[in-house]
């Protein structure tokens, strides 16, 4: 793992002001509402309500995915960029949207390879829910720094210590209060900003009004009594006293290492606590981090432009059959029209129509810096895991492809359309939406996914985007393992196990079986071979 640095003084100012992060949460905790307030304070939208409206517009546009509408899940992830001024600093925030549904964990994992930090939103009444926990585990794999936002404090919520305890216990991470709530539910008046010694008072009458902020000289300041009812003030003093004794202090390094999370309390719908959280991201959040790559790491301060594809989205607009590769810039200053080398194919690519995703719309990216996410429209050359450089043969690592947990046979409703089906499946495989295996023996394809819902998504997309009705049927196999090793050993193995061998969409050899026993047997009988459940995307 690479060391995480904070505001490295030698970084160009444009890079040092960038904060690239994702929001993770359980559905309904308030991610959309919080995103909307972020954009509102970032000046990217004028009115609350636009993100949702945009979400609906997007859904209408992607009507081909009836399911997305029916189930209210968001299948399309995107990135949004906006500026945020805080004190003397002006930050550029890049917010990468994570798909919330548990069926898209692989996609989510890869999305999280493109960010430097994550905001974990929890519902103050519900605490750490299942999806939060799962997403947190993914962040932990990458030691991402986490900022926590405890939302819906305007409603009846749990006791503050109980919430903090739950996070510490369930997620095994230290928690330090960045703010402390005063009163609960109807009695909730606001928060004490622990990091800045301020009192933030929520305005219940106007949901879009940002909290009144009052500078306080410690807990004995008589000004407190002017704003907080006496019984709540006593409680606040008592609780903060206890918090001081029981909870760790904010420690910037522990936060960057991912072992300590600061928690803010607020109410996104009431615009409360959001600005403080944004200030926190700006002030403490990591600058663009080094990227692990082969044969060497990429530093954000390097002059040459390097970036990698972490997501490919096809047919965003069914009318145009366009494909957008989402690229996280790992270093340098990119300008529109720049020629970059596509490392996998060693071919030059002129990037003439890169897009930046601003809240209201996409627009051409005239320039971008390390930390930014740009979208590159292309015709399928760019795949997940691909690296772009100014010529150097360097490959970004750490973007895995997981062995699918569910396998099914896929057949075209019309057997004459097998070639069409192959094309459609290959495209989804490149997009990272599924694994496609072509068995050595027999016809048809085996499609592998991580979550069951993806079969339905695929079937409906193939039908809508390619006019091809398809059937998914149970496969005789339940596990897939990539095979690697010395050529002679691989050949011998393949010859002896023909009925179990497929090739994936990159042409790599895969062993398919339904028995763990089989996998153990191969490992015993062919000690030179490695059977692997993940494959680096390359
Ligand atoms: P999500 O993206 O994480 O799924 O959550 P979203 O923002 O859509 O919020 C889920 C519900 O919680 C919404 O209500 C939203 O208005 C509400 N909500 C968000 N923040 C707060 C808060 O601070 N306090 C309270 N009391 N509610 C909050 P809904 O009824 O599902 O939708 P809507 O009718 O309000 O649009």
> What is the DSSP-derived secondary structure letter of residue 530?
E
Q: Is 347 annotated in some ligand binding site?
A: no
Q: Is the Cβ–Cβ distance between 460 and 65 less than 8 Å?
A: yes
Please tell me the distance between residue 310's alpha carbon and the centre of ligand 1 in angstroms. Answer: 29
Q: Is 26 annotated in some ligand binding site?
A: yes
Among 455, 427, 531, 458, which Cα is nearest to 489's?
531
Tell me the DSSP string of 281-311: HHHHSPPSPPB-EESS-B-TT-SS-EEEEEE
The predicted structure's pLDDT at residue 45: 59
Q: Coil, strand, or helix at residue 159?
A: coil
Please tell me the distance between residue 269's alpha carbon and the centre of ligand 1 in angstroms. Answer: 7
Residue nearest to atom 30 of ligand 1 (CA): 28
Q: Is 30 annotated in some ligand binding site?
A: yes
Q: What atom in ligand 1 is closest to the CA of residue 267?
A: 23
In Å, how far from its chain's centre is CA 103? Answer: 14
CA distance 80 to 69: 22
CA distance 270 to 295: 49
Among 397, 385, 374, which Cα is nearest to 291's?
397
Ligand 1 pocket test target in 26, 30, 203, 266 with most atoms within 8 Å of CB: 30
Q: What atom in ligand 1 is closest to the CA of residue 151?
A: 23
Neighbours of 351 (CB within 10 A): 22
Q: Is the Cβ–Cβ distance between 301 and 11 less than 8 Å?
A: yes
Q: Is the Cβ–Cβ distance between 22 and 98 less than 8 Å?
A: yes
Q: Is 151 annotated in some ligand binding site?
A: yes
Q: What atom in ligand 1 is closest to the CA of residue 155?
A: 26
Evaluate the omega torsion of the peptide bond into residue 403 and state whether it is cis, within 30 degrees of 0: no
Q: Which residue has the tokens 């299948």?
A: 75
For ligand 1, say whether the CB of 157 is within 6 Å of any of its atoms: no
Ligand 1 pocket test target in 33, 126, 191, 271 with most atoms within 8 Å of CB: 33
For ligand 1, say whether the CB of 342 is within 6 Å of any of its atoms: no
Please tell me the distance between residue 175's alpha carbon and the centre of ligand 1 in angstroms. Answer: 25
Instruction: Write the CB contacts of 359 (distance below 8 Å, at least 6 apart in sequence).
Output: 39, 42, 44, 45, 50, 51, 54, 80, 82
For ligand 1, say whether the CB of 25 is within 6 Å of any of its atoms: yes
CA distance 241 to 237: 6
Burial class (CB in 10 A: 0-12, 13-18, 19+), 71: middle
For each successive 10 residues of the chain (538 residues), what is the average pLDDT? 55 94 92 87 60 42 35 48 90 83 65 94 95 87 94 96 97 97 93 93 79 81 91 95 96 96 96 95 96 95 95 67 85 96 95 74 78 89 92 89 82 86 88 87 86 83 89 90 94 94 92 88 93 72
Two tokens, residue 285: 């959040």
Q: What is the CA radius of gyration of the chain?
A: 25
CA distance 223 to 373: 45
For ligand 1, say whether the CB of 33 is within 6 Å of any of its atoms: yes
Q: In the beta sheet, which residues pair with residue 327? A: 309, 374
For ligand 1, say whether the CB of 99 is within 6 Å of any of its atoms: no
Q: Are strands 406-412 and 470-474 parallel, antiparallel or unpaired?
A: antiparallel
The predicted structure's pLDDT at residue 46: 52
Q: What atom in ligand 1 is closest to the CA of residue 28?
A: 4
Q: What is the pTM of this model?
A: 0.81
Q: Is 206 annotated in some ligand binding site?
A: no
């Amino acid at each position: 793992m690479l060391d995480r640095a904070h505001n490295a003084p030698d970084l160009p100012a444009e890079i040092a002001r960038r904060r690239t992060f994702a929001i993770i949460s359980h559905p309904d905790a308030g991610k959309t509402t919080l995103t909307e307030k972020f954009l509102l304070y970032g000046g990217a939208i004028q009115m609350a309500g636009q993100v949702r409206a945009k979400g609906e517009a997007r859904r209408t546009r992607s009507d081909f995915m009836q399911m997305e509408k029916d189930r209210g899940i968001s299948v399309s992830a995107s990135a949004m960029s906006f500026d945020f001024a805080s004190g003397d600093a002006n930050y550029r925030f890049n917010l990468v949207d994570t798909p919330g549904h548990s069926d898209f964990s692989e996609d989510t994992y890869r999305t999280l390879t493109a960010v430097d930090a994550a905001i974990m939103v929890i519902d103050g009444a519900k605490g750490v829910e299942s999806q939060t926990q799962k997403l947190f585990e993914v962040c932990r794999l990458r030691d991402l720094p986490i900022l926590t936002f405890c939302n819906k404090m305007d409603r009846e919520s749990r006791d503050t210590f109980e919430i903090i305890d739950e996070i510490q216990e369930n997620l095994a991470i230290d928690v330090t209060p960045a703010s402390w709530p005063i009163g609960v539910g109807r009695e909730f008046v606001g928060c004490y900003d622990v990091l800045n010694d301020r009192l933030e008072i929520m305005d219940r009458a106007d949901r879009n009004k940002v909290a009144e902020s009052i500078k306080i000289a410690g807990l004995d300041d008589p000004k407190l009594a002017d704003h907080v009812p006496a019984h709540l003030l006593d409680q606040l003093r008592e609780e903060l006293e206890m918090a001081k004794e029981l909870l760790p202090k904010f420690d910037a390094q522990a936060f960057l290492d991912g072992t300590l999370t600061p928690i803010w309390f607020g109410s996104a719908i009431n615009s409360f606590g959001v600005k403080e959280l944004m200030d926190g991201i700006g002030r403490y959040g990591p600058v663009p981090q080094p990227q692990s790559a082969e044969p060497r790491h990429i530093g954000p301060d390097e002059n040459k432009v390097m970036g990698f594809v972490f997501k490919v989205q096809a047919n965003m607009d069914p009318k145009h059959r366009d494909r957008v590769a989402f690229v996280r810039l790992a270093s340098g200053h990119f300008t529109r029209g720049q020629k970059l080398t596509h490392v996998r194919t060693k071919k030059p690519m002129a990037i003439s129509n890169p897009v930046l995703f601003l809240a209201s719309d996409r627009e051409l990216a005239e320039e971008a810096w390390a930390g930014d996410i740009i979208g590159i429209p292309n015709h399928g050359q760019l795949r997940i895991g691909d690296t772009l450089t100014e010529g150097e043969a360097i490959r970004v690592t750490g973007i895995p492809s997981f062995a699918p947990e569910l396998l099914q046979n896929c057949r075209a409703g019309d057997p004459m359309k097998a070639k069409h089906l192959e094309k459609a499946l290959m495209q989804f495989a490149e997009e990272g939406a599924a694994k496609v295996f072509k068995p050595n023996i027999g016809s048809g394809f085996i499609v592998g996914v991580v979550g069951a819902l993806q079969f339905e998504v695929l079937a409906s997309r193939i039908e809508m985007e390619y006019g091809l009705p398809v059937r998914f049927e149970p496969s005789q196999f339940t596990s897939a393992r990539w095979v690697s090793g010395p050529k002679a050993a691989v050949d011998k193995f393949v010859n002896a196990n023909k009925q179990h061998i497929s090739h994936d969409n990159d042409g790599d050899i895969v062993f398919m079986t339904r028995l763990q026993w089989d996998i153990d047997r191969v490992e015993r009988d062919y000690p030179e071979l490695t059977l692997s459940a993940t494959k680096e995307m390359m």
